[in-house]
Structure 1
């Protein structure tokens, strides 16, 4: 089933300038530690382990991780991709010192892109906001692969409902977010994520921390 424009819009429409101002406190400061049980420093360490000096971030949020991660280059090439203009502007302003290029794209559709490919792509907390089960929304990986050099790494994290430990608070908050259309992860589970990645990439690694799955994988066109 193809996601409707309304479903796609619902997953990103919440990110207004006001919400973005509060995001770091509410999500990264409180929800990650106390509800999802995956503290933000753990996600930052995942960035530090995989980000390169030639990086594209997809589903950019507030740009928190790009602002704080340790790039292995003094002047990295940084690009931002999102469907939400508010998020793109917010993140671009936050990491203006890297002069990031911004691209407004829907990753559930083929991506028009004519620049050089990347050595790393980050998709942090994006999958659980996209409509449909993982088997369907994993098409974003097919759309991102052409933007990756051979051997490049795709990494990120997502909140799951199956195959992970969820507290009562996590179950309630996920149910609320799914009812509002902010999340769409009612059928997302660990096995589905692993299958989607292994069908497309090599060297797939997934670690669960609370109800978050932290993953990485490499593209190999041989």
Structure 2
């Protein structure tokens, strides 16, 4: 099932649409190679095992994935049950279809929605929600687009976990090659992370959750945060 949620066409929403536009069907076929096994370990200095460990320890039986990519991490995740219920949330129908097909062995629901707006999901039903490699693609600074964390939290039950990762521009070590690629991706509108700092990410986690953990691997911030029990 796919639910459509059409945001108003202001500048930020256009930027959100522009950011997800490159993820068409042909590009998705190479995403895992170029991103998870290419730029993540070589430019951002964060190998795939870091992301997979986060999923293995955080993904619950009822999971919401916000910004689905190709479903690489869900495909490899060790869920606590053999038949998890997974809600896929993305603004791009191509990524939703690609990921749903990849996860055909599970029960999935597709929801077309903008992470910067309240999500059209039942409140407090999921055990977990993930925003992996999403925030750096959203327009604005972390202080502004951190609202996506609050929207994710509303979908999660009391005591549930919101987790994910994002590429940061300041407060973390960025290699010369990483800085070059980051500038190019920002110039093209694929990234919007020129103002994204580790301090702002920590502040947003503090603002939306009573407890969280935040670690840095290369220039990637990996986080998990728990909703009030």
- Using the size of structure 2 for normalisation, the TM-score is 0.93
Residues 1:149 and 2:157 aligned together:
yes
| Alignment length (residue pairs) | 220
Q: List structure 1 segments (4+ residues) > 4 angstroms apart after TM superposition.
A: none
Q: How does 1:136-215 map to 2 (within 5 A)?
A: 136-215=144-223
Identify which of 54, 61, 66 aligns with 2:74: 66
* RMSD, aligned α-carbons: 1.3
Query: 1: CA distance between counterparts of 2:98 and 2:216?
Result: 29
Residue 28 (str. 1) matches residue 51 (str. 2): no
**If the length of structure 1 is used for normalisation, what is the TM-score?**
0.96
Deviation at 1:3, TM superposition (A): 4.9
Q: Give, in whole Å, the separation in 2 of the partners of 1:147 and 1:5.
A: 22
Please give the alpha-carbon distance, in whole angstroms, between the structure 2 residues aligned to 1:50 and 1:112. Answer: 23
* Cα pair 2:89 2:96 within 8 Å, conserved: yes
What are the ranges of 5 or more consecutive residues in structure 1 without an aligned counterpart?
Answer: none
Preserved CA contact (<8 Å) 1:3 1:132: no
Q: CA deviation at 1:116?
A: 6.5
- Superposed CA deviations along residues 157-192 of structure 1, whole A, max 9, x for unmatched, are 000011111100000000000000000000000000
Q: Distance in 2 between matches of 1:115 and 1:94?
A: 27
Gaps of 5+ in 2: 1-9
Structure-2 separation of matches of 1:116 and 1:148: 4
- How many Å separate the matches in 1 of 2:80 and 2:120? 28
The equivalent residue for 1:5 is 13
Is the CA contact (8 Å cut-off) linking 1:128 and 1:159 kept in structure 2?
Answer: yes
Aligned to 2:142: 134
Distance of 1:100 and 1:4 partners within structure 2: 29
